[in-house]
A and B are shown apart, each in its own frame.
Chain A
Amino acid sequence: MAFNLSGQNIFFIVFFILAILVAGISIDILRLFRKERKELSRQANLQAQQNPINGISLRVSEAFKRQLEESVKEEIKKNIGNLKNDFQRTSEEIIKNYQSQFKGGDQEMQKVISEISRQVTEEIKKVSRTLSGELTQKFDEIYQSTKGALSNKVAETEKEIENYKKQRFKEIDREIYQLIREVAKKTVGKSIDLSDHEKLVMEALEKAKKEIF
């Protein structure tokens, strides 16, 4: 059972109770006045009947008047005291009632909170498990797709590197061959002695004879 008693609500309830009490007190006072008035008129009638000589109107003595006022005041005081006691008792009861309700509500609330907490924890666990599964699957998918893409990229890059290496080796070989060629020309020229030079020139002339003479 849930209670939602704010300070404002409590104030209204107490105010309402006070209003009822004040109204009750007012009604009691009015009754008292009416009773006293009746009493006074009855006494006046009696005096008029007992002393017809004094005339038609009843004259109230000062002493009686004071006594009456005192008794009214006393009655009012008594009623107010009663009212105070009633009000205090009622208020305490209400407060006790609310306290017990709050206490019960608090316990109930704690139960509800713990239940909700348990359910939320369960739900979170379930969601976590589900999410974990889905995430694992997603990660797997991403990993597989990335792995495939990376493998292709790696293969492509390796091929490019291989081509580059081949190209570079080719260039290096070309440079080496050119260098060797130049060195060969110089060394061969220097290593041939004069008689061989002459012999090679004569061979060249022999070939020229066949081709252009």
Chain B
Amino acid sequence: MKNLSETIRTKEELVFFLEEIAKKKLNLGKEQFSGLEKKLRSLTEMKLEIAFSPDNDFLNRISQWLEKELGQKVILDITVNQKVVAGAIIEYRGNWRDFSSAKKIDQLFTDKLTNL
């Protein structure tokens, strides 16, 4: 069986997955189920593109930090891409920022190439 992080890639998948668990395990009523779905769908999503596979400790650390900073729980959509080199490319509420080391390296060499 695949790891959960590999099976659930998007917010929609997570919602679907949780709905299924709720139906089978919790035997929730229709109203309770609707409330849960609503709550899940109201969560904001943050996309992180990083160069390494994070362990659970690091994921927990990020989640706690984000809850503290944002004042709410956030669903993390994490992509591992070694081309990032280090750091992270972050997308949150339609805003996108590249804080990767790859960009720094590109900038360094772009300056060099421009001055040729």
Contact = CB atoms under 8 A, between A and B. Distances in A.
Interface of A: 170, 173-174, 177-178, 180-181, 184-185, 188-189, 192, 194, 196-198, 200-205, 207-209, 211-213
Contact of B48 (A173, A201, A213): A201
Residue among B51, B61, B86 with most chain A CB within 10 A:
B86
A209 B112 CA distance: 31
A189 B82 contact: yes
Given A173-B116, A177-B109, 20 more contacts: A178-B109, A180-B109, A184-B105, A188-B86, A188-B101, A189-B84, A189-B85, A189-B101, A197-B51, A200-B86, A200-B87, A201-B48, A201-B62, A201-B87, A203-B99, A204-B87, A204-B90, A204-B100, A208-B97, A213-B70
Given A181-B106, A207-B99, A174 B113 contact: yes
Contacts of A177: 109, 112-113, 116
B12 to A, nearest CB: 23
B66 A181 contact: no
B40 interface: no
A175 B58 CA distance: 38
Nearest to B109: A181
A205 B88 contact: yes
A200 B101 contact: yes
Contact of B93 (A170, A173, A178, A212): A212
A201 B79 CA distance: 13
Interface in B27-81: 48, 50-52, 54, 58, 61-62, 65-66, 69-70
Contacts of B109: 177-178, 180-181, 184
B22 interface: no
Contacts of B3: none
B105 A181 contact: yes
B52 A194 contact: yes
Contacts of A170: 116
Contacts of A203: 87, 99
